[in-house]
Amino acid sequence: MKTSAPAAAFRLAAAGGIQHTSLMAHGPSRIVAATAALLFAALVTGCGGIADERKAPRHDAAAGGDTTPSQPDSRPTSTDTSAALPDTAKTHDTGAPDREGAEAGGGTSTEAGGEVDAEPIRADGGAGTETSPPVTVVVLPDTQYYAAAYPEVFAGQTSWILAERTALHIAAVLHVGDIVDGDTQAQWTVANPAMRTLDGFVPYVVVPGNHDTDSNRKTLIDNYFSPASMPWITATMTAGQIENNYALVDIGPQKWLVLGLEFGPRDAVVAWADTILKAYPTTPAILLTHAYLYSDGTRYNVAVAGTDSTKDSYQWWYPQYYGFTASQGINDGEMLWQKLVLPNPNVRLVFCGHQTGWARETSTRPDGSRVHQMLSDYQWYKIDQSDYYGGSGYLRVVQLDYGKKTIAVQTYSPYLQQYLTDDANQFTLDWNL
């Protein structure tokens, strides 16, 4: 039987027996008011978010000047706009519309498959071996609207992770950025306790998205997630700043390097990241950054997609569009591939958010090593035309099965207690270690 989140208590077994209730506990008026505020603000700001004062006007070559961005086209595209790479094979899968801040899937649940009622996946359900069960990495997509208007959903995600950490053998939690919607104390004081629920139990890595900083990359994030308060972080590029960091994490029997980079990383950041990857050449690595993959399964690539939104090749919300410290370089997904991922064969997984949608791409280097790259962002996902909760609490459950040599990915909402089961949200990847 389908569970309607606003109609039922949000039951999560958190540490100490604390239970979180759904938004309905505060009355329907709160849901309606919060939803209306989000939608109104998104329209006012060009659908980029609630408090996005950092977006520069878009320059359309065809229009001959700066123009306000129009509503993105919701149709998925199958055109591969990534630059052609010699000796590089790629496969794509996508189930996403072309928009960062608009209704995912045109307000439908998914593009294929849909939702099913189910209990969360468990590691003891027959996968793996008796001595080596699958180990889980949880990916938290953009939580910006939870921090702005739906704090119970954010708190519920991490409470569920805490409650399931033993059963699922959860080794790490990775946040893809846009932790908050506006870089304000009010929103960070929502995000901080939600994430801090995991302190001492599960290591986590956070990176800033475009909504977490201003156009000069100034941010309050370090007031709430300072490296000194996160002892599992191995090092950062800049002392006292978490924006660019890495951690060595035991994920099952294997130690992994998790490398977290800022939104549209500057050239100096990419150079630093390259030295870190080369310092651990035999350690499999995960790249975590906010904007990398587009919703059609290709990488962000302004050199091919261009800056003219009237063109079919155009990619909405590309990193250079925001103009963050442009003189220091702004690297999009294809640039990160060419400069960082392609030349470092230890990079095996990439996780990103930013663009509302869900897609994946597997790329093969000339040496035969493969990289699985995954986009997940549910910030405009709607249960149906009337229900909207800033993303409905969906997160990614990534299970590495060292025994079966598979990487199984599921998309689950602790808030709704439901999976998304279409192929773009539930799939198994080949072992690429």
Quote the number of domains for the chain: 1
In the prediction, which pLDDT does 314 show?
A: 97
Does residue 199 sit within a domain?
A: yes
**pLDDT of 117:** 42
Is 78 domain-assigned?
no
Domain that holds residue 363: 5-71+86-430
In this predicted structure, what is the pLDDT of residue 94? 53
- pLDDT of res. 381: 85
- 81 lies in a domain? no
Query: Across-strand partners of 66?
Result: 59
Q: CA-CA distance, 357 to 378, in Å (whole number)?
A: 6
CA–CA dist 285, 203 (Å, integer): 16
pLDDT at residue number 69:
30
Q: Which residue has the tokens 């094979």?
A: 89
Residue 290 lies in a domain: yes
Pair of tokens at residue 106: 């045109």
pLDDT at 389: 80
pLDDT of the residue at 382 = 77
CA distance 404 to 408: 10
Task: Return the CATH number at 222.
Answer: 3.60.21.10
Segment (H or E) for 347: strand 347-352
Q: Residue 76 falls within a domain, yes or no? A: no
Q: Has residue 339 been placed in a domain? A: yes
Distances (CA, A) of 6 to 32, 117, 390, 414, 430: 11, 16, 13, 13, 38
pLDDT of residue 103: 34
pLDDT score, position 76: 28
> Burial of 421 by CB count in 10 Å (0-12 exposed, 13-18 middle, 19+ buried)?
middle
Task: Determine the pLDDT at residue 346.
Answer: 98
Query: So what's the pLDDT on residue 284?
Result: 98
Q: Does residue 202 belong to any structural domain of this protein?
A: yes
DSSP per-residue string spanning 24-59: GGG-HHHHHHHHHHHHHHHHHTTTS-SS---PPPEE
- Predicted pLDDT at 132: 81
Domain presence at residue 55: yes
Low-confidence residues of the chain, pLDDT below 70? 1-131, 383-387
Q: What is the DSSP letter of 431?
A: P
